[in-house]
Amino acid sequence: MKKTIALLTGGTTGEWVVSVKSAATIAQNIDSDLYDVYKIMLNDKGWFYEPADSVKIAVDKNDFSITLEGRKIKFEGVFIAIHGAPGEDGKLQGYFDMLNIPYTTCDALTSSITMNKGYTKAIVDGIPNLNVARSVQIFKGGDYSVSQIKAELKLPYFVKPNSGGSSIGMTKVKHADDLDEAIEKAFKEDNQVLIEEFVSGREFSIGVFKANGEITVLPTTEVIPSNEFFDFEAKYTPGATKEITPGDMNDEEYARVHQIIKDIYVKLNCRGVVRVDYFLEEGTGKFYFIEINTIPGQTATSFIPQQVAAMGISLKQFYTSLMKETLG
């Protein structure tokens, strides 16, 4: 008996473009023998299903259902493919919890906490062999001193919206005089901003998921951007970044990184597939946590599909195992 699943895409932030591309990849690779999939678009104008040959059909938010040709369709599970708000910040998870509809991502609490980069760093700090860069978290309209930040942190800095994604609003500051402008840019995206010391090292991004009750770490991707850092352009322009999957780690680094990644997954109470970005510091090889994405991109150029391929399994197998684990 097939399960009726909603594939939820769109969103209310600049990341909706990436979300639509992610959903296209997912839709192409869901096992149609197991699941009937309805793609639901969520944006500022509403929530709706848009059949190829028909007008938009609004979603009834009272029970998250649609009525198609006089037939009410209720969903047995939701594949959430919305990056940023409201898919990655816990809002949708809380809504589906109240309706008792299972979904593919982390729960509401983990989703909301991990959207806040500063809070996440505070929670993972203390995991054996994990390091976090020194940072200052500031609030719009709050009492902060730019001169004090300059005194506390060593240049260069990364200035980023605390809850943003896809590196939107992020700046690498090499000269202290440029800090005010970078903060202003980040505040356009978020009410909280994180300013952290730059860690010089090799950058990696690694997926991890739970299926059949077991946590599995995917092959890592080493990221070598042609830009100054891994910004929005580098992330979503084919060829703008050299991405090596699997990334080159020696046996000791491999074992240490895999243990840290599993510890992060457990400590943050993750579900489904998440992606952790990290540095291996130049000269020391120390692991520095950058951030976690609880709804990582699934576009043609995204890391997770690359890593799944490097693991030797198809995306169809991967999504099936994820959905069986999270949707039952």
One domain, residues 267 and 118: yes
How many domains, the chain? 3
Greater model confidence, 166 or 148: 148
Confidence of residue 55 (pLDDT cuts 50, 70, 90): confident
Please write the tens of the pLDDT for every residue from 297-312: 999 889 999 999 999 9
| Same domain, yes or no: 212 and 279 | yes
**Residues 77 and 126 both lie in one domain:** no
**Are the CB atoms for 273 and 106 separated by under 8 Å?**
no
- The CATH number assigned to the domain holding 75 equals 3.40.50.20
295 and 162 part of one domain: no
Average per-residue pLDDT for the chain: 92
- pLDDT tens column, 101-158: 999 999 999 999 999 889 999 999 999 999 999 999 999 988 899 999 999 999 999 9
pLDDT tens-digit profile of 240-285? 678 999 999 999 999 999 999 999 999 999 999 999 999 999 999 9
Token pair of 158 as six digits: 């990364």
272 shares a domain with 125? yes
Here the CATH number for the domain that contains residue 162 is 3.30.1490.20
Domain boundary among 180, 197, 214: 197
The percentage of residues in the chain with a pLDDT greater than 70, rounded to a whole number, is 95
pLDDT one-digit tens code per residue, 24-42: 999 999 999 999 999 999 9
Task: Tell me, yes or no, if the pTM score tops 0.85.
Answer: yes
- Do 211 and 312 lie in one domain? The reply is yes
Q: Are 59 and 50 in contact (CB under 8 A)?
A: no
253 with 119, same domain: the answer is yes
| Shared-domain flag, residues 248 and 152 | no
Q: Is the dihedral of CA 84, 86, 91, 95 positive or negative?
A: negative
Same domain, 248 and 278: yes
Instruction: Looking at the structure, tell me whether residues 209 and 153 fall in a common domain.
Output: no
Domain ranges, residue 118: 113-132+199-327
Q: How much is the CA Rg of the chain, to the nearest whole Å?
A: 20
Regarding whether 92 and 154 lie in a shared domain, the answer is: no
Q: Over 90: is that where the pLDDT of 84 sits?
A: no
**What are the counts of helices (DSSP H) followed by strands (DSSP E) for the chain?**
10, 18
Q: Are residues 121 and 255 in the same domain?
A: yes
Phi and psi, residue 116, nearest 5°:
-100, 105
The pLDDT tens digits of the residues spanning 92-102 come to: 999 999 999 99
